[in-house]
C-alpha cells in the first residue's frame, strides 16, 4: 500500500493534477492549452497503469500540441504551458528507464511580452493562485541537472565512471546514472539518506583520491531533495555534452539522438556478422572494453555506437562516405584509426562498414544494448560447426586459465575432456576424472527436463569446466577473467558470452562424486538453457538452473535449503514489481528471485507452458516470442502474478 501511495505521489509530481485556473486568454488559446494539459494528464494515467508505450505516444502527442499552441502563444499562454514543459521532460526521463524513447523535447523560447500584462489572478482568499514557474516547470531557485549537477559529475567522477565504468557503474548519461550499477539504484528522488551516491561521497569513499568541495556536494544533495529532476534534451545524451561548449545559463546541447532501425533482411551487409567483429577486433582497448575511452566515444553496445562521442554522431545513416567513422578509418579526418600503432583496416573492410551505413546502419543483432562482443560472438557461433566452436572454446580456456590462475596453479595445470566437456584445473588427475564423471551424470539429469534437437548435441561446441581447489583461487579467477567480485557464498557459477561457455567450481579433496553432481546441476542446466535459444535472458537461465538443482538433486541439499530460506528476504527487497526484470536488485537477490520463479515454472501447474517455451526456442523464436506463446503474456505479467502469489502465501503464513 505504501509503495502504491508513493507511486501516486510521483505521478502527480511529474504529470500534475487538479483544476487549472486560466487568465484572460482567448477561447482559441484556452483550447490549445487545455489540449496540451489533457495529453499530459492522459500520459500520467497510462504511466501509473504501467502502459509505458501508450504513455510515450501521449507524450509525443503533447509535444505536437505544444508546437500548435506556441503558434498563437503570448506570455500568458507560455506561463500556462510551462508546467507541462517540465513534466514532459521528466516523463521522458522516466520512460527512457522503462525502455521507451520519445523525441528530445526542447522547451520553446518565451514569446515577446505584451505591452499590457493582466493583473495577477488570485484565489478566493486573495492569495496568488499559482506562483510563476520557470519554463521547465520548476521554481526558479531549483537545482538544474543540466546546468548544475552534470558538470559536477563530469568534473569529479568522469575519469572513473564516464570515461570508464569502474565498479560496473557508468555515469555516461542521465539514464545510466539513474539505472545504477548491478547492485542496485544509487539515486532515490527526494531521499538523500537512502541514496547510495550521497552515502559514498559523505563517507569519503568517493571520489577516489580526493574529496568533493562542500558547495558541490550540497548541490547534489539539493538536487536529490528536490526530486532528482531531469531538464536536459535527452536522458541518453552524454553527460560530457552538458559541460562542453556552453555557458552557465545555457549549457551546450548534443545533436539529436539517432534511433535504432531494425534490419529488414534485404541488406547485403550484416552488422552482427560482418561489422561488429571488425569493430571488436580493431577498436578494443580504446572504445570497447576500455579502461579510459578516447574522445568520449564508447562503442561497447550498438546504442553507444549510434550515440557517438565528444564530436557527436560518427554515423550518418544512408551516407557512409560522409560518416566520421568511415573518414577516421580512411585517415580523412585527422589521425587515422585505429590508433596506437595498430595496422589500418583493409580497404575492403572499410568499404564493408561504409556499405552497411549506406544501407541505413541497421541492426540485425538481438538488442541495441547487447555488448558488441557478445553480438558478434553469437553471430559467429550460429554459423560455426560443433568442432569449430569446440576448438575455439579450448583456445579461450587456455587464455582464461593463463589470465585467471595463480602462478602456482599454472605450473600444476592438468586437463581432461569428453564429448561434452573440456576440464582444466590445478588439482590431481584423479580429481579431474571425478569432476568429469560427476558432470556427465548431472548432464544426464538435465536432459530429462530439456528438449533437444535430434541433430545436435545439448552443448554445441562443448563446455569448459574450471576446477579450483580453494575459494581464494576461485575468487581471483573471477576478478581477473570477469573483472568482478563474486558473492562470498558462491562456490560455483557459469558464464556465457556467445562464444565462450564455462562453469567455474571449487573442488576440494573432501567433495564426493554425489556432492559434485548436485553442485553442477544448476550451472550446467543454466548453460544448456542459455545455449538453446536466441538471447535467453540470464535471469531465466539462472532461475531454471537453480530450480533444476532443487528438483533433480538430493532432497537434503544444504545449498538449496539456503536459497529457500533467503527467498522471502529477496522478495521483500523489491521496492516495485519491475525492479527484478529491470536489473535493479543486487546479484544475490536477483538470483534468489529467479530461483523462486524458476521453481514455479518447473512445477506441476506451469510445466507444460515451460516445455512449450523451450520447444519454441529450439524453433528459433526469440525469447519474447516464445514466452508470449507459452504463457499468453509478457514476462513482466508472469513476474507480477508470481509476486502476488508470494504476497498471499506470506499473509497465510503470518496468520
| Tens digits of residue pLDDT in 202-258 | 877 777 666 787 888 888 998 888 888 888 767 777 776 665 443 333 344 444 567
Task: Provide φ and ψ at 262, rounded to 5°.
Answer: -80, 145
pLDDT at 13: 43
The C-alpha atoms of residue 50 and residue 636 are separated, in whole angstroms, by 10
pLDDT at 10: 44
pLDDT digits (tens, 9 = 90+) for 421-465: 999 999 999 999 999 999 999 999 999 888 765 556 778 899 999
Positions of the chain with pLDDT lower than 70, given as ranges = 1-24, 93, 96-99, 112-141, 159, 163-165, 208-210, 233, 240-257, 291-293, 310-311, 452-456, 533-534, 555, 648-655
Going through 377-469 in order, the beta strands assigned E by DSSP cover 414-417, 421-425, 463-468
The C-alpha atoms of residue 458 and residue 522 are separated, in whole angstroms, by 15
pLDDT at 527: 95
pLDDT at 256: 52
> Is the separation of the CB atoms in 529 and 542 below 8 Å?
no
Task: Using a cut of 0.85, tell me whether the model's pTM lies above it.
Answer: no
Instruction: Please report, for residues 207, 400, 406, 446, 482, the alpha-carbon distance to residue 479 in angstroms, rounded to integers and kept in the order given.
Output: 22, 11, 12, 29, 6
Q: What angle do CA 490, 494, 498 make, to 5 degrees?
A: 155
Domain boundaries, the chain: 2-97, 145-241, 271-379, 533-655
pLDDT at 171: 81
Whether residue 339 is preceded by a cis peptide bond, meaning omega within 30 degrees of 0, is no
Close Cβ partners of 346 (under 8 Å, ≥ 6 residues apart): none
The C-alpha atoms of residue 263 and residue 57 are separated, in whole angstroms, by 23
pLDDT at 136: 37
Q: What residue has cell string 500520459?
A: 43
When computed from its CA atoms, the radius of gyration of the chain, rounded to whole angstroms, is 27
Collapse the DSSP code of 583 into the 3-class scheme (helix H, G, I; strand E, B; otherwise coil) and give the result.
Answer: coil
- The secondary structure of 302-344 as a DSSP string is HHHHHH-BTTB-S--TT-STTSHHHHHHHT-SSS-SS-TTPPP
> Is the separation of the CB atoms in 532 and 450 below 8 Å?
yes
Of 536, 523, 504, which is closest to residue 618 (Cα–Cα)?
Answer: 536
pLDDT at 417: 93
Strands 501-506 and 463-468 turn out to be: parallel
Amino acid at each position: 500500500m505504501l509503495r502504491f501511495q508513493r507511486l501516486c505521489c510521483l505521478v502527480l509530481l511529474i504529470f500534475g493534477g487538479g483544476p487549472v485556473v486560466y487568465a484572460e486568454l482567448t477561447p482559441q488559446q484556452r483550447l490549445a492549452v487545455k489540449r496540451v494539459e489533457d495529453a499530459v494528464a492522459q500520459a500520467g494515467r497510462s504511466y501509473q497503469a504501467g502502459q509505458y508505450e501508450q504513455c510515450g505516444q501521449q507524450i509525443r502527442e503533447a509535444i505536437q500540441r505544444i508546437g500548435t499552441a506556441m503558434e498563437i502563444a503570448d506570455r500568458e499562454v507560455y506561463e500556462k504551458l510551462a508546467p507541462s514543459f517540465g513534466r514532459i521532460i521528466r516523463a521522458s526521463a522516466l520512460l527512457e528507464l522503462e525502455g521507451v524513447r520519445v523525441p528530445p523535447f526542447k522547451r520553446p523560447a518565451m514569446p515577446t511580452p505584451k505591452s499590457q500584462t493582466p493583473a495577477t489572478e488570485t484565489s478566493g482568499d486573495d492569495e496568488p493562485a499559482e506562483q510563476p514557474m520557470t519554463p521547465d516547470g520548476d521554481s526558479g531557485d531549483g537545482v538544474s541537472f543540466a546546468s548544475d549537477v552534470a558538470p559536477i559529475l563530469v568534473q569529479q567522477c568522469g575519469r572513473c565512471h564516464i570515461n570508464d565504468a569502474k565498479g560496473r557503474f557508468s555515469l555516461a548519461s542521465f539514464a545510466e546514472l539513474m539505472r545504477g550499477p548491478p547492485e542496485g539504484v544509487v539515486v532515490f528522488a527526494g531521499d538523500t539518506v537512502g541514496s547510495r551516491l550521497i552515502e559514498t561521497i559523505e563517507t569519503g569513499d568517493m571520489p577516489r583520491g580526493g574529496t568533493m568541495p562542500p558547495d558541490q556536494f550540497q548541490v547534489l544533495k539539493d538536487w536529490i531533495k528536490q526530486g532528482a529532476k531531469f531538464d536536459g534534451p535527452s536522458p541518453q545524451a552524454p553527460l560530457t555534452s552538458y559541460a562542453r561548449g556552453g555557458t552557465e545559463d545555457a549549457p551546450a546541447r548534443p545533436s539529436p539522438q539517432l534511433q535504432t532501425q531494425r534490419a529488414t533482411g534485404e541488406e547485403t551487409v550484416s552488422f552482427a556478422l560482418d561489422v561488429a567483429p571488425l569493430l571488436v577486433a580493431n577498436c578494443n582497448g580504446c572504445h570497447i572494453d576500455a579502461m579510459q575511452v578516447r574522445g568520449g566515444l564508447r562503442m561497447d553496445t550498438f546504442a553507444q555506437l549510434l550515440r557517438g562521442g565528444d564530436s557527436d554522431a560518427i554515423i550518418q545513416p544512408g551516407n557512409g562516405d560522409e560518416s566520421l567513422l568511415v573518414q577516421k578509418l580512411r585517415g580523412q579526418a585527422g589521425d587515422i584509426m585505429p590508433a596506437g600503432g595498430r595496422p589500418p583496416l583493409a580497404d575492403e573492410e572499410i568499404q564493408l562498414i561504409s556499405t552497411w551505413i549506406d544501407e541505413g546502419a541497421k541492426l540485425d543483432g538481438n538488442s541495441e544494448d547487447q555488448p558488441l562482443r557478445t553480438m558478434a560472438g553469437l553471430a559467429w557461433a550460429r554459423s560455426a560447426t560443433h568442432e569449430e566452436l569446440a576448438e575455439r572454446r579450448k583456445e579461450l580456456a587456455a587464455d582464461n586459465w593463463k589470465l585467471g590462475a595463480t602462478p602456482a596453479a599454472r605450473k600444476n595445470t592438468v586437463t581432461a575432456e569428453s564429448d561434452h566437456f573440456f576440464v582444466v584445473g590445478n588439482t590431481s588427475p584423479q580429481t579431474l576424472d571425478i569432476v568429469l564423471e560427476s558432470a556427465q551424470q548431472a548432464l544426464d539429469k538435465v536432459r530429462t527436463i530439456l528438449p533437444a534437437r535430434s541433430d545436435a548435441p545439448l552443448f554445441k561446441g562443448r563446455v569448459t569446466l574450471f576446477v579450483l581447489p580453494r575459494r581464494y583461487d576461485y575468487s581471483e579467477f573471477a576478478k581477473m577473467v570477469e573483472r568482478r567480485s563474486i558473492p562470498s557464498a558462491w562456490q560455483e557459477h557459469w558464464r556465457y558470452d556467445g562464444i565462450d561457455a564455462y562453469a567455474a567450481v571449487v573442488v576440494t579433496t573432501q567433495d564426493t562424486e554425489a556432492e559434485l553432481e548436485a553442485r553442477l546441476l544448476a550451472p550446467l542446466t543454466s548453460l544448456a538453457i542459455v545455449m538453446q535459444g536466441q538471447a535467453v535472458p540470464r535471469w531465466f537461465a539462472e532461475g531454471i538452473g537453480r530450480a533444476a538443482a532443487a528438483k533433480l538433486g538430493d532432497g537434503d541439499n544444504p545449498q538449496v535449503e539456503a536459497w529457500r530460506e533467503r527467498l522471502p528476504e529477496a522478495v521483500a527487497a523489491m521496492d516495485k514489481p519491475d525492479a527484478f526484470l529491470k536489473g535493479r536488485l543486487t546479484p544475490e537477490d536477483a538470483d534468489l528471485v529467479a530461483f523462486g520463479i524458476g521453481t514455479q515454472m518447473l512445477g506441476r501447474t506451469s510445466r507444460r507452458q515451460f516445455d512449450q517455451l523451450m520447444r519454441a526456442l529450439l524453433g528459433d523464436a526469440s525469447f519474447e516470442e516464445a514466452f508470449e506463446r507459452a504463457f499468453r503474456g509478457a514476462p513482466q505479467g508472469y513476474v507480477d502474478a508470481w509476486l502476488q502469489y508470494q504476497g498471499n502465501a506470506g499473509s497465510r503464513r503470518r496468520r
